């Protein structure tokens, strides 16, 4: 875990032993895997100091030196702040994890017209704290899916987390209530997913689709009601992946009428219950559990803190 202290717009970071001898260029390129454009911005705008003076990006760093990075500058907001109660699961200067409610889009499709998304609510929340910065969505949840969702609070954290997501280093665990009882109580669904050419928003298992892998484990089943609660975790992140895969196995999610689920409730019974990742700056292991805010009757057998 790296030692950091925030001082105004700057973060002070103590160079760790494992960076000894590396250049700042190598830290950005190899350790953080930051985009070239972002690295260039930090370099040209002198946003990095070493022990209080302008850093030479090509000279080796030494453990114990203090790297100062200007990360917390104000930005013109890209969305209109709009108040909505939000449930914060974790927050620091760099990231924020929210327990997203159902029936809410993650981000606006039209920033001028749509002001009621989670991103707008976060903009209001941060602005009320005096933080006029754009929030950066790392991954997404469908409008009717609830649970833990991760945002970055500045560009460098966002870039690092984007790369971690691409490398499958952010683990997302979901719970779903589905129709039917499984023959196999745990398994791995490896079936590519592509667009359904007969339906604008629907996806389907397709040999020509993108690789998609979902792991599942049955947590509870009611043979009389023909309902199962399953834990799912992803190795890939395709649109509607869990919904498509569970439907493909003959166990559509309850309420998910798009993929054949029974309309017993007013949304698909899918909840992002747990989120695990290493902090993009400090490298600390972060684990967030998201309680179910609705559908308690359906998920009453499940304690998300034991997942």
Q: Indicate which residues carry an active-site annotation.
A: 142
Q: Which residues are registered as beta bridge partners of 215? A: 188, 233
Q: Is residue 286 within 8 Å of residue 279, measured between CB atoms?
A: yes
Going through 180-301 in order, the beta strands assigned E by DSSP cover 186-190, 193-195, 203-205, 213-222, 227-234, 270-278, 285-289
The tokens describing 265, both together, are: 């409730």
The tokens describing 229, both together, are: 């609660």
Cβ count within 10 A of residue 215: 17
- H helix intervals, 107-147: 118-128
Q: Is residue 304 within 8 Å of residue 289, measured between CB atoms?
A: yes
């Amino acid at each position: 875990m790296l030692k950091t202290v925030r001082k105004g717009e700057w973060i002070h970071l103590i160079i760790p032993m494992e960076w000894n001898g590396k250049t700042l260029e190598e830290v950005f390129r190899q350790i953080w895997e930051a985009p070239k454009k972002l690295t260039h911005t930090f370099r040209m705008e002198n946003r990095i100091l070493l022990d209080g003076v302008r850093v030479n990006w090509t000279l080796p760093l030494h453990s114990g030196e203090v790297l100062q990075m200007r990360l917390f500058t104000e930005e013109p907001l890209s969305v209109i702040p709009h108040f909505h109660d939000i449930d914060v699961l974790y927050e620091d200067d760099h990231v924020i994890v929210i327990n997203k409610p159902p029936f809410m889009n993650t981000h606006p499709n039209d920033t001028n017209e749509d002001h009621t998304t989670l991103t707008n609510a976060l903009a209001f929340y941060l602005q009320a704290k005096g933080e006029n910065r754009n929030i950066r969505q790392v991954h997404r949840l469908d409008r009717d899916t609830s649970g833990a969702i991760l945002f970055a609070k500045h560009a460098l954290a966002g870039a690092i987390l984007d790369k971690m997501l691409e490398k499958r280093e952010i683990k997302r665990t979901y719970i779903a209530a589905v129709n039917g009882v499984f023959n196999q109580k745990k398994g791995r669904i490896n079936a590519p997913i592509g667009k359904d050419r007969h339906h604008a928003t629907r996806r389907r298992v397709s040999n020509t689709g993108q690789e998609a892998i979902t792991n599942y484990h049955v947590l509870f089943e009611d043979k009389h009601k023909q309902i199962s609660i399953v834990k799912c975790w992803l190795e890939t992140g395709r649109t509607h992946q869990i919904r498509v895969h569970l439907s493909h196995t003959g166990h559509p999610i309850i309420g998910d009428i798009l993929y054949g689920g029974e309309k017993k409730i007013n949304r698909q019974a899918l909840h992002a219950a747990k989120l695990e990742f290493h902090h993009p700056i400090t490298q600390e292991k972060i684990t967030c559990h998201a309680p179910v805010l609705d559908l308690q009757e359906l998920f009453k057998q499940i304690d998300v803190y034991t997942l």
